[in-house]
Amino acid sequence: MGRTASAVDQFRPSSRRRQLAAATLTTTLTAVIAGMFWWQDLQFARPTPVPEGWQAIAPGAPVVLPGRLEQIRNAAGNRPVLLHFFNPSCPCSRFNVDHVRALARSYGDRVTFVAVLVQGDAATLTAAYRTLGLDVPYYVDDGQAANAVGAYSTPQAAILDSDGRLVYRGNYNVTRYCRERETEFARIALDDMLAGRPARTMPSQATVAYGCPLRHPRGTGGDGA
């Protein structure tokens, strides 16, 4: 019995060291993960820098869409259009996929939804988009669509009425998680437009861009989903 106790005592210090090392590792990993989330929230809580040469498009201004986007709109009978600017590598874009999907399901019988894909080559963007299940046409933008509506960040929505005039360009919500119904700016703009109400003046949280800066890739349009 004495020998057994001594053997147990002999191994206790190393066991404690392992427990201490495991606890230290867990604490470190927790701190690193918390720091990453804090940095992301801090980064995306700030407005996206306005790019040099950017031109704002005033609500009510006529918008000339690139040819392929115009064809998609015409094919739907010149209905109102919501352009969803989407970057698959942007955390904010990924966070609001469910919200955009819900909007498309609610308004898709009256409004044409088009995902405008940015930030990458056409093949990579198309492959990333097809995993989302949005089931709306897509277009790989080379900067023409974004410039036409004044978008320079993702995710952003641009809504055009049936006459091709800009109704709204801005954020979907005040938070990237899209959980605040009273600040669902894109939905509010859709409701006003479809009800024939004048476009309301949105707060700065709607129109000041947040999210990931939009740097235009070169690509070609598509109409698959």
Tell me the average pLDDT of the chain: 78
Task: Please compute the mean of the pLDDT values over residues 26-46 and round it to a whole number.
Answer: 46
Say what the pLDDT of residue 9 is.
Answer: 53
Say what the pLDDT of residue 217 is.
Answer: 43
In the chain, what is the straight-line distance between the N-terminal and C-terminal CA atoms, in Å?
A: 73
Convert the pLDDT of each residue in 165-204 to its tens digit: 999 999 998 865 556 677 899 999 999 999 999 888 888 8
Q: How far apart are CA 20 and CA 81, in angstroms?
A: 59
Say what the pLDDT of residue 33 is.
Answer: 40
Convert the pLDDT of each residue in 73-94 to its tens digit: 888 787 999 999 988 888 877 7
Instruction: Please enumerate in sequence order all residues whose Cβ is within 8 A of that of 145, keeping only pairs 6 or more positions apart, or say none.
Output: 65, 66, 69, 83, 116, 139, 151
| CB 170, CB 186: distance < 8 Å | yes
Please work out, in degrees rounded to the nearest 5, the angle formed at the alpha carbon of residue 86 by the alpha carbons of 81 and 87: 165
Task: Give the predicted TM-score (pTM) of the model.
Answer: 0.76
Q: How far apart are CA 82 and CA 95, in angstroms?
A: 18
Task: Please compute the mean of the pLDDT values over residues 150-154 and round it to a whole number.
Answer: 91
Q: How far apart are CA 38 and CA 43, in angstroms?
A: 8
